[in-house]
Chain A
Amino acid sequence: MISKNIQLDEQGRLKHFLSIEGFKRQHLVNILDAAEPFANVHEQAVKKVPILRGKTIVNLFFEASTRTRTTFELASKRLSADVLNININTSATSKGESLLDMLHNLEAMHCDMFIVRHNQSGAAHLIAQHVSPHISVINAGDGCHSHPSQAMLDMFTIRRHKKEFADLTVVIVGDILHSRVARSQIHALNTLGVTEVRVVGPKTLIPTQIKTLGVHVYHDMQTALVGADVIIMLRLQKERMQGALLPSEDEYYHQYGLTEQKLSYAKPDAIVMHPGPINRGVEIASSIADGPQSVILEQVTNGIAIRMAVMSQTLGRSSGGNS
């Protein structure tokens, strides 16, 4: 059984960043605090800080991504690291052997950090277990398991708007079953001590044992939204219409799409979030996505600061913002 938390080194400092699970509240707060100064870097004339100068970071993406990859790339560059982007078609290297072989080849090029996205749950853990000790691994999304930097940028965005986590009711809407973002958010929200996390969606899209993660399950959107401070909409993949998970996009929008009318059940100052990319008219109405309560674009901007914080804490361990 692999039970040791490989995310921390012997001194309890961040070594890898693979999943929110396994971190205490203080770890998460440290990351959020460290991200604060980085959030303003872009306002300076020179956007770069020299924390990771001379380090080489590899974006190892086995699954397509625009937003996550580019924000990681920008974050790396603003920390003055050298960045290598490698996009691998998973169908060509779906076997673990070639995955690890490729890794050892990259190690031989003296890289310092792998940022990994893979379509299989556990891929980032597997890589972290097999890399040389000097390399850090950041999970940029593995299958349906975890997407910790996304969860942290969401927490950062929430904190900027809501200050205290303790008083919040957060509602996560949609395809929880296939969502690594939702799993990471649930862990983060509970670790940071919000009042209540609710998930809402049809039973076909909610794992049977989701309650064990500490959430309340709803199948009716209206009931779930009552009293909500934060509404997180999840992307609905088109392929979910196959395999008898949902009848149609139209029916889904009718039941679970965020419309002005449904939004009115939440608190008046509720914020609306979405990890992107958005399916307008499938999970969210355009008027809300572009409306005053939406913080969707802020999330993207905050993504750079959070990723800078995570990278500097893992790689710039002695110099990073380890408050």
Chain B
Amino acid sequence: MSDITQLTSPLLSNRPAISIINGHVIDPANQVDKKVNIHLQHGKIVALGDAPENFVAQRVIDASEQIICPGLIDLRFHLRESGYETKGSIASETKAAAAGGVTALCCPPDTDPIIDNPAMVKLIRLKAETEGAAKIYTLSALTQQLKGEKLSEMRKLKDAGCVGTSNALHPVKSTLVMRRALEYAASHDITVFIQAFDPWLSDGCAHEGAVSTRLGLAGIPISAETIAIARDLQLIELTGAKAHFCQLSSAKAVQLIHQAQEDGLPVTADVTAHHLHLTEMDIGYFDSNCHVIPPLRTQRDQDALRRGLKSGVISNIVSDHQPHGSDAKLAPFAETEAGISGVETLLPLALKMIDDQVMPLSDVIARLTSQPAETLGLKEGTLSIGSDADICIFDPEAYWVVDREKFLSQGQNTPFHSWELKGKVNYTFKSGEMVFSSQ
């Protein structure tokens, strides 16, 4: 990465000195939750409270009535570049991220070409540095070409900058290969990100339940998720690998992860913002914007996901951002592409947990900042002195109506269109550079 560092360091020294005053700072990693001023220079946070001596602010931002928190870290964000630029580019989708208060995102390896060689990692990181409005981290492919047969060069890929490894939406069918992959990852202290579903039980497009029965849609049972989690938990116990389970969708999945954590296994998990708010009922009469994988399940599952988030069994909220062109959703439900363009609604949907679940604001922020940083092993996600000035400033009381036409993402595929949400991002800084302003 030395080439990239060389590119960025001269830029950082040009970043202006900024003081953000009168705002309420929430920095869960340092247990800061108070009204305090914050000062940035050369792309770093230089002080909380009084400005350092000789600090001359080139710009002062009045953040009265606003929350200042670390820039959000989105653990699951599908970059369409490279391979699917008609759906979204690094430039367009990181701009959307910035508008959502996200300053760092992690993309799974299922780009085209697949991220299973160091050159791809460098290419994406370089493009992120030159065109991106957010930092981009990548997961390496767990197996070559995601085929589930041969191990990828995951150590080389780690050295090239990958923050973990994953077989994305291609479950490793062979338990032997999965065992070896976990063992190999454990040898090099690489976290394995698992999207748990049984390939044979997942040949459907909606939760197998009342709605799929009514609409005649092929269902995906909850056991598709729990069988895969149960298998992989056994292998994690066997191999000692560190694992993160992506996008839990059912109450039973939360229960399994909880039990594993109780047993001392090194496992963490995340949930998407949309699984916290939608259920199978939202499909209504074939609303393809609610076609997601894993599928939206029942109210009971949604309640359990929320409880799991509150208790900390689930440590991250992700957007699982998947922008699509409009044609992708204009087909009979089963033929539409799964996924939601979610990054621009991530923060307000997460904040809704405060009103809905009596989860304190600082916990919600932690699930979006310090905890994903911990999962990815990043030093970001805090406002510590000396850390990168990745900052999100938002008005927690501002109501706004979601308008997909106004999305910065190329994907307008959202089931939240015309929802009124509370919590609006006003400024986003990435390494001291203002990458988004609502003004």
Q: How far is the CB of A265 from chain B (nearest CB, A)?
A: 28
Return chain B residues, CB-CB under 8 Å to A145.
215-217
Tell me whether A126 and B286 are in contact (CB under 8 A).
yes
> Is A11 part of the contact surface with B, judged by Cβ < 8 Å?
no
> Is B287 part of the contact surface with A, judged by Cβ < 8 Å?
yes
Stretch at the interface among B303-311, B328-336, B377-385: B328-336
> Is A82 part of the contact surface with B, judged by Cβ < 8 Å?
no
Q: How far is the CB of A64 from chain B (nearest CB, A)?
A: 17
- B214, B285, B415 pick with most chain A CB within 10 angstroms: B285
Tell me whether A97 and B286 are in contact (CB under 8 A).
no
Tell me whether A210 and B213 are in contact (CB under 8 A).
yes
Tell me whether A1 and B415 are in contact (CB under 8 A).
yes
Interface residues of B in 394-421 (CB under 8 A from A): 415
Known: A2-B286, A97-B327, A126-B286. A121 touches B214 (CB 8 A): no
State the CA gap A123–B288 with chains docked (Å): 11
Tell me whether A121 and B215 are in contact (CB under 8 A).
yes
> Is A125 part of the contact surface with B, judged by Cβ < 8 Å?
yes
Tell me whether B335 and A94 are in contact (CB under 8 A).
yes
Tell me whether B330 and A183 are in contact (CB under 8 A).
no
> Is B282 part of the contact surface with A, judged by Cβ < 8 Å?
yes
Return chain A residues, CB-CB under 8 Å to B335.
94-96, 120
Interface residue tally for chain A (C-beta within 8 Å): 32
Known: A95-B331, A96-B331, A209-B209. A2 touches B285 (CB 8 A): yes
Tell me whether A1 and B284 are in contact (CB under 8 A).
yes
> Is A196 part of the contact surface with B, judged by Cβ < 8 Å?
no
What interface size band does chain B fall in? 20 to 34
Tell me whether B221 and A208 are in contact (CB under 8 A).
yes
State the CA gap A60–B218 with chains docked (Å): 24
Interface residues of B in 64-122 (CB under 8 A from A): none
Tell me whether A96 and B210 are in contact (CB under 8 A).
no
> Is A144 part of the contact surface with B, judged by Cβ < 8 Å?
yes
Of all chain A residues, the one with the shortest Cβ separation from B203 is A243
> Is A180 part of the contact surface with B, judged by Cβ < 8 Å?
yes
Contact of B214 among A118, A123, A213 (CB under 8 A): A213
> Is A207 part of the contact surface with B, judged by Cβ < 8 Å?
yes
- Over the window 190-218 of chain B, the binary record of Cβ atoms lying under 8 Å from chain A Cβ atoms (1 yes, 0 no) is 00000000000000000011101111111
Interface residues of A in 1-31 (CB under 8 A from B): 1-3, 6, 21
Q: How far is the CB of B397 from chain A (nearest CB, A)?
A: 26
Q: How far is the CB of B311 from chain A (nearest CB, A)?
A: 29
Tell me whether B330 and A3 are in contact (CB under 8 A).
no
Tell me whether A118 and B332 are in contact (CB under 8 A).
yes
Return chain A residues, CB-CB under 8 Å to B284.
1-3
> Is A281 part of the contact surface with B, judged by Cβ < 8 Å?
no
Return chain B residues, CB-CB under 8 Å to A142.
216, 332
Return chain A residues, CB-CB under 8 Å to B334.
120-122, 143
- Over the window 256-292 of chain B, the binary record of Cβ atoms lying under 8 Å from chain A Cβ atoms (1 yes, 0 no) is 0000000000000000000000000111111100100
Return chain B residues, CB-CB under 8 Å to A1.
281-284, 287, 290, 415
Known: A21-B214, A208-B208, A213-B213. A99 touches B331 (CB 8 A): yes
Tell me whether B285 and A209 are in contact (CB under 8 A).
no
Contact of A120 among B214, B221, B330, B332 (CB under 8 A): B332
Chain B residues at the A interface, C-beta cutoff of 8 Å: 208-210, 212-219, 221, 281-287, 290, 327, 330-336, 415
Q: Which 3 A-B pairs have the closest CB atoms?
A: A96-B331, A144-B216, A120-B332
Q: What are 15 A-B contacts defined by CB distance under 8 Å? A: A1-B290, A2-B286, A95-B331, A96-B335, A121-B216, A122-B215, A122-B332, A126-B330, A144-B218, A207-B208, A207-B212, A208-B208, A208-B221, A209-B208, A213-B213
9 further contact pairs, Cβ within 8 A, besides A1-B283, A121-B286, A212-B210: A1-B282, A2-B285, A3-B285, A21-B214, A95-B335, A96-B332, A122-B285, A146-B216, A183-B216
